[in-house]
Amino acid sequence: MHCLNRPNQSYRPLPTSKKDQSHMHPSLFVYSWLPQTVREAIPTDISVDHHDSSVAALTPEDFGRRLAGKHGVVVNGMAVGRQMMQAAGPSLRVIANVGVGYDNIDVDAASELGIVVTNTPDILSEATADMGIALLLASARRIAEADRFIRAGLYTKDKFRLFWGAEISGRTIGIIGMGRIGQALARRARGFNMKVVYNNRKPVTPGLEQSLEAKWLALDDVFRVADFLVLCVPLNAGTRHTVNARTLALMKPDAHLINIARGPVVDELALVDALRKNTIAGAGLDVFEQEPKLAPGLVDLPNVVLTPHIGSGTLQTRTAMLALAVRNVVSVLEGNTASTPVN
C-alpha cells in the first residue's frame, strides 16, 4: 500500500476561485464501457471524452493522445505508466482503475507526480467468489470436457464410467489470499461442507477465523493438503509465480488449481507441464500470464477449464464498478477525497 502523505510530495489541487474556475473546465476521459445511468451521474460542468474499450481497444499511443490535457481518467484494461502520465501533462489529477487490482498502473510514479490512483474494491468480491466456485465445480466434475463430448456427437448411450469427477463435500479447499474475495470464497466453501485452510501474509483475526471455520497454514502446507487450491492474492513482486514447478510438485495428484487472482501469479508453462503429466488432476483459469495470449499447449489440454477474465462479469457488478470509479474521479476533481484511493 502506498501512502499519500509522502515527504516532499505535492498534489495539484484544481483552481478554487471563481476567477480561476472561469478559465478551467474539468475534463474526463473514460476508457471503458459506460452505462447511461452512470454517465448521467457525472456533473454537467465536467466534459466527458468516452471510448468504449469493450468494443474496440485503443493503441497505447492513441490512448495517450486522448488522455493529453485531461484532468481525470477512468481506465479499464490499459497500462498507464510514468511516461504516459508525464505526456498527459500537468492537468492530470486522478486515475480511476476499474477493478480491484491496479498492477496496470504505475502507482509509485503517480504518487511522485501528485496523481491520485483509485480502484474498485468490495463491489466485485461476491461475483468473483461465485466464479471461483464455478470454476472449482467445473474442473472437479469435468463440465467442459462433458460439454465438448456431447457437442461432438459422441454421446450415444449411457456409459457407467463416463467422465467420473471429484467429490466436493468433505474435501479441503486451500485459499491463498484471505482478503475480501478469499473470505467470500470461504463462506461459499462451507456451504459445500468443505474444510477451509488458507495462507495470508498474516492470519486473519481469531474471530474471523472462527466464523469462517478456517485454519491458517504455511504456504507450502496449503499446497500439500488442499484438494482444491484457489488463488485470491493481488499481483506484486512477492506473489508472482507463487504457483511454479516446485509448488505444483507439492500438490496431491488428484488436486485442482483455480486461479481467479491475476495470471502472473501462476507460471503458466509449469502448469501446462503439470497438467500434461497429470502431476495434478485439473485446473480452472479465469486469468492468464500474458493476457490475452495463452501459454503454448494450454488450449490442447482436456483437464483445464478456461474463461476470459470474467470473474466480475455480471451486469450489476460491472455497473457498480463503473459508478464507483466515476465517483472517485468526480470527488477528486471537486477537491474532495476519493472513496477508495490506493496511494
Reply yes or no on whether 126 is catalytic: no
Q: What is the mean pLDDT of residues 152-173?
A: 92
In this model, does residue 315 exceed pLDDT 50?
yes
Residues 100 and 149 in one domain: no
Reply yes or no on whether 334 is catalytic: no
Residue 158 pLDDT class (50, 70, 90 cuts): confident
Query: Is the separation of the CB atoms in 81 and 109 below 8 Å?
Result: yes
Residues 264 and 154 in one domain: yes
Residues near 159 by Cβ (< 8 Å), separated by ≥ 6? none
Q: How many domains does the chain have?
A: 2
| Rama region for 78: left / alpha / beta (φ>0; ψ in -120 to 50; rest) | beta
Residues 321 and 234 in one domain: no
Q: What is the mean pLDDT of residues 260-274?
A: 97
Q: How many residues does the chain have?
A: 343
In this model, does residue 4 exceed pLDDT 50?
no
In this model, does residue 1 exceed pLDDT 80?
no
User: What are the residues facing 118 on neighbouring strands?
Assistant: 96, 341
- Which of 3-7, 67-71, 169-173, 284-288 has the weakest average pLDDT? 3-7
DSSP for residue 75: E
pLDDT, one tens digit per residue, over 322-334 is 999 999 999 999 9
Catalytic residue among 180, 309, 318, 327: 309
Evaluate whether residue 141 is within a structural domain.
yes
Q: What is the mean pLDDT of residues 62-77?
A: 96
- Which of 15-19, 95-99, 250-254, 323-327 has the weakest average pLDDT? 15-19
Evaluate whether residue 68 is within a structural domain.
yes
Evaluate whether residue 1 is within a structural domain.
no
pLDDT at 313: 95
- CA torsion angle 13 18 23 24 (round to 10): 40
pLDDT at 55: 92
Residues 276 and 179 in one domain: yes
Longest dimension (CA), the chain: 81
Residues 153 and 106 in one domain: no
* Residue 174 belongs to domain spanning: 125-306
In this model, does residue 9 exceed pLDDT 90?
no
Residues 193 and 110 in one domain: no
Q: Give the containing element (helix H, strand E) for 315.
A: helix 315-333
Evaluate whether residue 343 is within a structural domain.
no
Q: How far apart are CA 120 and CA 102, in angstroms?
A: 9
Residue 18 pLDDT class (50, 70, 90 cuts): very low
pLDDT, one tens digit per residue, over 98-114 is 998 898 999 999 999 99
Catalytic residue among 171, 256, 262, 327: 262
Residues 186 and 276 in one domain: yes
Q: What is the mean pLDDT of residues 229-258?
A: 97
Cell of 247: 509448488
Considering the chain, what is the average pLDDT of its residues? Answer: 92
Evaluate whether residue 181 is within a structural domain.
yes
Q: What is the mean pLDDT of residues 269-280?
A: 97
Reply yes or no on whether 291 is catalytic: yes
Residues 208 and 95 in one domain: no
CATH number of the domain enclosing 53: 3.40.50.720
pLDDT at 24: 65
pLDDT at 183: 98
User: What are the residues facing 259 on neighbouring strands?
Assistant: 231, 285
Query: Is the separation of the CB atoms in 326 and 43 below 8 Å?
Result: no
In this model, does residue 94 exceed pLDDT 50?
yes
Catalytic residue among 61, 213, 291, 334: 291
Chain centroid to Cα 61, Å, comes to 25
More confident residue, 219 or 12: 219
Query: Is the separation of the CB atoms in 133 and 188 below 8 Å?
Result: yes
- Which of 17-21, 201-205, 273-277, 332-336 has the weakest average pLDDT? 17-21
In this model, does residue 200 exceed pLDDT 50?
yes
Evaluate whether residue 12 is within a structural domain.
no
